[in-house]
Amino acid sequence: MSAASVGQIAWVLGVVGWYVIRYPFERRAKRVRVVSSRRSGTDVFGLACALFGLAIFPAFYVATGFPKSADYPAHAWAIAVGIVIYAAALWVFRRSHKELGRNWSITLEIRQKHELVSGGPYALIRHPMYTSFMLMGLGQAFLLSNWIVGLAGLIGFALLFFLRVDKEERMMLEIFGSQYLTYIERTKRIIPYLY
């Protein structure tokens, strides 16, 4: 089997893993009432970009080979690196879902009895779930040997992240006040100790 095919199969398994991790949380979240929603057109646009770049477009590529002209020869080492990064992404994704629990939302929302989570991965970074999206994008860039499809995931992640992060932190500050302020002081956004 060619390195390119191994990369594509690994990517498909990764996306399936992503959904298997997310599904139970999505179901559970439906049962917790939302007390304040900041869902906006911009946020939905960011989400759509992330979904397109990290899932829909690469799935279309795996199924059809389009856009073939942007393909480049796959290297076994790149596929191996991609597998490690994607696995790390899924691990961070799972850890952050478990930690955030009933406070999770697909968009910017405050739920009934919302608690400020600051344990597990949240002890180091404020947005580990977005870190996992970044890692998925990076993993995708190594797994799919196509310039356009490879980079689409990182671009989708960046759009979601930069359109959302300020608003999310402002919302958390409004709700949790000085508690969130001290939390900001001792954590980074998505890369431990760096950013």
Beta strand 109-111 with 34-37 is antiparallel
* Closer Cβ to ligand SAH, 122 or 157, answer by number: 122
* Closer Cβ to ligand SAH, 49 or 129, answer by number: 129
Q: How far is the CB of 195 from ligand SAH (least distance, A)?
A: 13
Q: Kindly state whether residue 105 participates in binding ligand SAH, applying the rule CB under 6 A.
A: yes
By CB neighbour count within 10 A (0-12 exposed, 13-18 middle, 19+ buried), where does 94 fall?
Answer: middle
Name which of residues 16 to 35 contact ligand SAH (CB under 6 A): none
* Closer Cβ to ligand SAH, 12 or 32, answer by number: 32
Which of 116-121's residues contact partners 24+ apart within 8 Å by CB, and which partners?
Answer: 116/172, 116/176, 116/179, 116/180, 116/183, 118/183, 118/187, 120/95, 120/96, 121/92, 121/95, 121/96
Name which of residues 68 to 97 contact ligand SAH (CB under 6 A): 96
* Closer Cβ to ligand SAH, 130 or 157, answer by number: 130
* Closer Cβ to ligand SAH, 71 or 168, answer by number: 168
What DSSP string runs through 105-173? -SSSEEETT-----SGGGGTBS-HHHHHHHHHHHHHHHHS-BHHHHHHHHHHHHHHHHHHHHHHHHHHH
Among 34, 75, 124, 168, binds ligand SAH (CB under 6 A): 168
> What is the per-residue burial (b if ≥16 Cβ within 10 Å, else e) of 167-183?
ebeebbeeebeeebeeb
Q: How far is the CB of 103 from ligand SAH (least distance, A)?
A: 4
Q: How far is the CB of 27 from ligand SAH (least distance, A)?
A: 16
Q: How far is the CB of 162 from ligand SAH (least distance, A)?
A: 13
Half-sphere exposure at residue 4, Cβ-oriented, CA atoms within 13 angstroms: 11
Among 104, 136, 139, 159, binds ligand SAH (CB under 6 A): 104
> How many residues in the shown chain lie near ligand SAH by CB under 6 A?
17
Name which of residues 109 to 148 contact ligand SAH (CB under 6 A): 109-110, 116-117, 122, 127-130
Interaction site with ligand SAH (CB under 6 A)? 96, 100, 103-105, 108-110, 116-117, 122, 127-130, 168, 172
